[in-house]
Structure 1
Amino acid sequence: MTEQRREGIVDWWDRERGYGFIVPFGDTDQIYVEASALEGTHVLSCEQHVSFLLQFTEGRFQARSVRP
């Protein structure tokens, strides 16, 4: 089964620490994202539109394969 990409907005990003949070469209829960999950870029900006895949790991959802 193919995973469906989701879309959302970067709510918060810490450039020095290399992680932040995305809020998916139609939702209010923040999804954790780290720099190692980014494709085609090394940093994100607040309010930037992104697409991503969801992965449940370490007891929470995390974004992976994040694309600007």
Structure 2
Amino acid sequence: MNERLIGFVEWYDRATGRGSIIPLGSTIPLRVNRADIEGDCKSLSAEQQVTFVIELGPTGFEARQVRP
């Protein structure tokens, strides 16, 4: 999928650089990694709104090209 979606950060651990995002209208969380966050700030906060692209990763669908 290349369509940008809107979602909210469920949780994000700054120490590990991992977290999850829930797409708007869904209850299924997607993994997110620090390397997939675009922009100068490579961190997210719980309940923060973001846009992203869904891609199939090695362990399932993941949020990529995440923009706060």
* Alignment TM-score, normalising by the size of structure 1: 0.94
RMSD (Å) for aligned C-alpha atoms: 1.1
Q: Which runs of 5+ in 1 are unaligned?
A: none
Shift of 1:3: 1.5
Q: Which runs of 5+ in 2 are unaligned?
A: none
Give the aligned partner of residue 52 of structure 2.
Answer: 52
Query: Are 1:23 and 2:22 matched, yes or no?
Result: yes
Summarize the alignment of residues 1-68 of structure 1 with structure 2, pairs less than 5 Å apart: 3-40=2-39, 41-68=41-68
Paired letter, 1:54: I
Paired letter, 2:65: S
The number of equivalent residue pairs is 67
Identity, % of aligned positions: 40
Shift of 1:59: 3.3
Distance of 1:16 and 1:3 partners within structure 2: 29
